Amino acid sequence: MKRYSICPFCFERINLHKVDFRCANAPGRCSPENDVVLANFLGVSSHITNKVVKIPLATTVWEKLKAWLWAPREVICGVCHEKTSLRLCPRCHSELPYTIGEYQDLIFAVIGAKEAGKSHYISVLIEKVRNEIGAHFECSLQPLNDETIRRYREDFYNPVFRKKEVIQATLSARADSRVRVPLIYTLSFKKKRKIRDVVTIVFFDTAGEDLDSEDTLRTENKYIYNSSGIILLLDPLQLPAVRVELPANTPLPGENSETEYLLERVAKLIRMAHGKRPTYLIKIPLAVAFSKMDALEPLLEGSSLNYPSQHDGIFDLNEFESVNGEMESRMREWAGSLIQSLEHNFKSHAFFGFTALGCNPHGSQKIDKLRPRRVEEPFLWLLWKHKLIGDQTFLSQLLLKLRPFKISVFMLGVVFGLVISVLLVGIGEVLLSPTYVYEKTDELPVRLVPDDSVPRRFPVTGAEKQPSTLPSVPIEPPKGVVKAVPSLQSPVEFVRAYYADINGGDVESAIRKWKSPNEVQLRTLIEESQWVKINRVTLLTRERSDSVEVSVEVSGKQKSQRTQQKWAGTLVLEKVAGEWKIFEMQLSEVLPISPSPARKLIMTGAGVGLRKEPRSARQGNVVTQLQIGSVVSPLEKITKKGEAWYKITTSGGQEGWVHSKYTMPLDSNNQEQAYVDVAKRKLSSQADFGTLVELCNFLNRVSQQVSAPARAAELKSLYLAALQRSLEQIPRDQHDKPRYSNWLKRQRAKIEYNESTGGWVVKK
């Protein structure tokens, strides 16, 4: 039994030893009265209800000790002398859940900007948790009081699931006292028909405009700063960078700039309330979830965000990382400043994408077909963060098993420390032999590369070279040091292993992976192929069954072909004698997107390397350098390790890869605006001398191409601003260095020397 808890109504931290009670007797037997405290909280002038009963004052030493040791569970009404166990929050006089203090109380705050889809999210999430998640994770979500049942039915379930209508925007909690009724649930986890864990979960539907960092006393604000997890909903359709990329006929909500400030306001509020310095990193886990991802399908080709999530019984870290990484890189493109704000404010955050309705409700107010996707993922992440569900790692599974015994990570650490130090004594011998490290690459699932820091006793060949020269028999690591192949492979690992066989030329192993192989065809295929690698592999069905479908995308080059090709499709796997076998495979070639004249990119970075391959650090990888404002045509876009890269051709016909963070979509109807945007973006950053010179050259060039006089003048003034900034970057004593003196000479007509400051300035 805990001493302190958070009231799920007013979200005030309360001492459970000092609660009030409400008389439970029938109104005829004990006369009701006006509860001023509750009336105040509900925002009404009076609220007639049963009497409030205070805990009797402790007078003797024994009573005082008892009051300190145990929280009171019942008291006797001073008027009717009946026992009552209805506990009230001492602050707001709302009736506390009977489970309060017995279990972990988690308040999950769902917040979002106006029209971000909070109400839809809550309605669909609760249904999802009650049904599917309940089945997958052996847990059950139960409403804790009648108000929760009623409010969920009336305000959430009925509109979405029965009437199939769009829920109107949440009213401000200040405007409507009904919104003040939170949805309170208990989520209980079972293990072998026994209760393992129970948590109280509270959802409070708060309107974005209610957030005000100055007023820490308001209920809506306490809900956030006393929460154990925050789900911040963002509507990508409200972000300007997304709107320009979408097909022209997409129905859109109003543009909304408050999204960016919302996060800052939340962070400021939490720090104010807990009296923390502005540099303090907030520890409440924050799930940043993009809603309405269905509308973005045209931009998300081949992304796992287009598929339902696969968390079944465990929180799948691989899946989580891939979604988190992809969303983060998207977000860098769409709202880079938000990422920075996140990193400066929240210690633990992750990105998600979901759709609550599965269809775009803007325009029509009807939901034609309800197809929610990935709504549960942010919620599962928060449960995982609070160690209520486990992931695939051994430690996590172990901790979950030990939960009923309340064993902490710290104690486990002590035990492991002892075990390891005992083992180390015996293992000293093994440590002197060559050690192996894992190098994870995209080409192969796992490659073993000897660690150079340890002297080698035997030469290793092949392993460090390109995959095409890998020997057909992989090098076995010394027994007992690392195991490269797990005993039972997941379907995804199996598919990766199959392509590793083809890439490595291991015909026999590839043949063994088919249920009924066509040997001749396979041999020809493997001989024909120069190299092949997997770009993406996703499990489409549940892993537990004996037949699964896997979607893959592979690139490769055949010896007879001049260029590389790309294939995508599905594999059907069947479990035969405990091993996966390929039953059927349907792949078709993906043709590269032809450069469309309508959609181009403009380079926003100075001297950005055009690279042979989509990776930053590699010598000899740079084809050429692209100047600020260069207009390029994208051919292909990939996301790699959470970073997005474009394959592009320059106007001069050179091909290569650029990192998406140095690009901006260019609206061909409004190129001039793009020039202004690029310049403003650069001028608002910490640009160095070289960058500013490049920016000046770019602005000088384009201001002469522009026909509208107002635009030309705007570009001209940006040019002068960039010129002034470039002059400020020149150190006072280095005016005669060639790098600077050449620039000063070229700009001589526009600048003058200021005697008093000893520096060059733009002429007035």
* Nearest CB to Zn ion, comparing residues 87 and 332: 87
* Nearest CB to Zn ion, comparing residues 8 and 609: 8
CB of 382 to Zn ion, least distance (A): 23
Residue 207 touching Zn ion (CB under 5 A)? no
CB of 50 to Zn ion, least distance (A): 7
CB of 121 to Zn ion, least distance (A): 25
CB of 183 to Zn ion, least distance (A): 16
* Residue 156, C-beta contacts closer than 8 angstroms, at least 6 positions apart: 119, 122, 123, 126, 167
Residue by residue, DSSP assigns 653-698 as: --EEEEEGGGEEEEEGGGHHHHHHHHHHHHHTS---HHHHHHHHHH
CB of 38 to Zn ion, least distance (A): 10
CB of 19 to Zn ion, least distance (A): 10
* Nearest CB to Zn ion, comparing residues 13 and 746: 13
φ, ψ for residue 287, nearest 5 deg: -100, 115
The C-alpha atoms of residue 381 and residue 388 are separated, in whole angstroms, by 10
Query: Which residues, numbered 355-414, are part of the site for Zn ion (CB under 5 A)?
Result: none
Task: Give the total of residues touching Zn ion (CB under 5 A).
Answer: 12
CB of 23 to Zn ion, least distance (A): 3
Q: Any idea how long the chain is?
A: 764
Question: Beta 751-754 vs 759-762: how paired, if at all?
Answer: antiparallel
The C-alpha atoms of residue 541 and residue 513 are separated, in whole angstroms, by 20
- Alpha carbon separation from 628 to 540, 681, 736 (Å, rounded): 42, 11, 27
- The amino acid that residue 245 corresponds to is E
Residue by residue, DSSP assigns 682-747 as: HHTS---HHHHHHHHHHHHHHHHH--SHHHHHHHHHHHHHHHHHHHHTS-GGGTTSHHHHHHHHHT
Q: Taking CB under 5 A as the rule, which mask of x and - marks residues 529-568 in contact with Zn ion?
A: ----------------------------------------
- For 592, the 3-state DSSP assignment is coil
* Nearest CB to Zn ion, comparing residues 90 and 656: 90
Supply 560's token pair. Answer: 């007879």
Q: Taking CB under 5 A as the rule, which mask of x and - marks residues 740-759 in contact with Zn ion?
A: --------------------
Q: Of 495, 491, 496, 586, nearest to 546 (Cα)?
A: 491
Q: Taking CB under 5 A as the rule, which mask of x and - marks residues 70-109 in contact with Zn ion?
A: -------x-xx--------x-xx-----------------
Can you give the three-state secondary structure of 362-422, one letter per residue? CCCCECCCCCCECCCHHHHHHHHHCCCCCCCCHHHHHHHHHHHHCCCHHHHHHHHHHHHHH
The C-alpha atoms of residue 166 and residue 164 are separated, in whole angstroms, by 7
* Nearest CB to Zn ion, comparing residues 10 and 16: 10
Contact in structure between 407 and 417 (CB atoms under 8 Å)? no
Q: Of 154, 148, 158, nearest to 180 (Cα)?
A: 148
Residue with tokens 């598929």: 307
CB of 155 to Zn ion, least distance (A): 21
* Nearest CB to Zn ion, comparing residues 38 and 626: 38
* Nearest CB to Zn ion, comparing residues 48 and 482: 48
* Nearest CB to Zn ion, comparing residues 108 and 346: 108
CA-only gyration radius of the chain, Å:
32
* Nearest CB to Zn ion, comparing residues 29 and 371: 29
Tell me which stretch binds Zn ion (CB under 5 A): 3-11, 469-477, 571-579, 581-589. 3-11
CB of 43 to Zn ion, least distance (A): 14
Residue 222 touching Zn ion (CB under 5 A)? no
* Nearest CB to Zn ion, comparing residues 89 and 323: 89
CB of 90 to Zn ion, least distance (A): 8
Tell me which stretch binds Zn ion (CB under 5 A): 6-14, 137-145, 679-687, 690-698. 6-14
Burial status of residue 534 (CB atoms within 10 A of its CB: 0-12, 13-18, 19 or more):
buried
- Interface residue with Zn ion among 10, 75, 124, 696 (CB under 5 A) is 10
Supply 497's token pair. Answer: 């292993």
- Interface residue with Zn ion among 6, 7, 38, 202 (CB under 5 A) is 7
Tell me which stretch binds Zn ion (CB under 5 A): 18-26, 168-176, 465-473, 623-631. 18-26
Q: Which helix (H) or strand (E) holds 553?
A: strand 547-558
CB of 10 to Zn ion, least distance (A): 3
Neighbours of 488 (CB within 10 A): 9
Tell me which stretch binds Zn ion (CB under 5 A): 10-18, 257-265, 469-477, 623-631. 10-18
Q: Could you tell me the sign of the dihedral formed by the alpha carbons of 522, 525, 528, 531, in that order? A: negative
CB of 108 to Zn ion, least distance (A): 18
* Nearest CB to Zn ion, comparing residues 40 and 649: 40
* Nearest CB to Zn ion, comparing residues 51 and 659: 51
* Nearest CB to Zn ion, comparing residues 80 and 412: 80
CB of 626 to Zn ion, least distance (A): 59
Tell me which stretch binds Zn ion (CB under 5 A): 17-25, 178-186, 217-225, 662-670. 17-25
Query: Which residues, numbered 20-39, are part of the site for Zn ion (CB under 5 A)?
Result: 23, 25, 30
Query: Which residues, numbered 38-77, are part of the site for Zn ion (CB under 5 A)?
Result: 77
* Nearest CB to Zn ion, comparing residues 30 and 282: 30
Residue 9 touching Zn ion (CB under 5 A)? yes
The C-alpha atoms of residue 316 and residue 318 are separated, in whole angstroms, by 6
Burial status of residue 434 (CB atoms within 10 A of its CB: 0-12, 13-18, 19 or more):
middle
Interface residues toward Zn ion, by CB under 5 A: 7, 9-10, 23, 25, 30, 77, 79-80, 89, 91-92
